[in-house]
Amino acid sequence: MSFKILMAGVTHHGRIRTNNEDNLYMGGKYLALGIQDLSEILYVEKSSRPWTAAGVFDGMGGENAGETAAFTGAQTFASCMASWEAQSMRPEDFLEHTCQAMNRAVVSHAGRFRLGQTGTTAAVLYFRDERAWVCNVGDSSVFLLRENKMRCLTKAHTNAAFLKQQGIEGRTPALTQFIGIPEDEMTLCPHIGSGRLRHNDRFLLCSDGLTDMVREEDIARWLYTSPTPKAAAAVLTDQALEKGGRDNITVIVCHVVYEPAGK
């Protein structure tokens, strides 16, 4: 059994920041270094057989270091997706392998160009046949909307729980895991999960430029009422901008459609 995956993606630098440090990957495509905003929504259709994927990368660091880290993450993910390992390895092992490859690439690039502390989040969906695997490092999110109920599939690697436990309010949670951690400082531990696909499943991948601006119940409503992935990606980006657009905003919406045998 296989499914057609309809993907629409958009990125915007927001209303406050002058530089876009996000990147994205959709079915073999990712953004060239230096792209600030997409002039139109990126759209691709791919089959879940043998495999395809989508990913969001939110960079961090001074000057253009965050932008470069996100680009390096997306570029390395694309290279891994095009390799034989994408189909020959167990999906969980492949995603672990890919996260480690992205981490080494970002650390190596930062060292080569003396960029200092830099890194990127990664939140990806890997589709193979009738299943999907989610993998994340950092605080970018993947949501699943099924039968008008939305749930988050990712685990935010932040110290938010510690701050709450200590009664500390008003402080932005810090990342405890990200792509770009030197191996001698910390072991990278990506969160990985999986599940079976269903016809009409709707997935959302996004940077925190969306989730920090728009409530989850509103995100779910727009995902449910938007007729196409393009429409959903557009309205979610507009909502984040209308509510202040304090950060870069990157959104990918995936609709899952049953693909009859022989297609």
CA dist 214 and 201 (Å) reads 21
Check residue 165 and give its pLDDT.
67
Taking Cα atoms as reference points, which of 220, 210, 219, 223 lies closest to residue 256?
223
Reported as a pLDDT band with limits 50, 70 and 90, residue 173 is confident
Paired sense of beta strands 141-146 and 202-206, if any: antiparallel
Residue of higher predicted confidence among 43 and 115: 43
Whether 215 has a pLDDT exceeding 90, the answer reads: yes
CATH 3.60.40.10 fits 2-259, yes or no: yes
Predicted TM-score (pTM) of this structure: 0.95
In the numeric block, which tokens belong to residue 198?
């269903």
Whether 262 has a pLDDT exceeding 90, the answer reads: no
Whether 42 has a pLDDT exceeding 70, the answer reads: yes
Give percent of the chain with pLDDT exceeding 70.
97
Check residue 259 and give its pLDDT.
87
The mean pLDDT of 161-176, rounded to a whole number, is: 79
The mean pLDDT of 213-223, rounded to a whole number, is: 98
Task: Tell me the three-class secondary structure of the chain, residue by residue.
Answer: CEEEEEEEEEEECCCCCCCCCEEEEECCEECCCCCCCCCCCEEEEEECCCCEEEEEEEEECCCCHHHHHHHHHHHHHHHHHCCCHHHHCCHHHHHHHHHHHHHHHHHHHHHHCCCCCCEECEEEEEEECCEEEEEEECCCEEEEEECCEEEECCCCCECHHHHHHCCCCCCCCCECCCECCCCCCCCCCCEEEEEECCCCCEEEEECHHHHCCCCHHHHHHHHHHCCCHHHHHHHHHHHHHHCCCCCCEEEEEEEEEEECCCC
Reported as a pLDDT band with limits 50, 70 and 90, residue 161 is low
CA dist 178 and 124 (Å) reads 13
> To the nearest whole number, what is the mean pLDDT of the chain?
94
Give residue-wise pLDDT tens across range 64-113. 799 999 999 999 999 999 998 887 899 999 999 999 999 999 999 887 86
The mean pLDDT of 106-124, rounded to a whole number, is: 87
Reported as a pLDDT band with limits 50, 70 and 90, residue 193 is very high
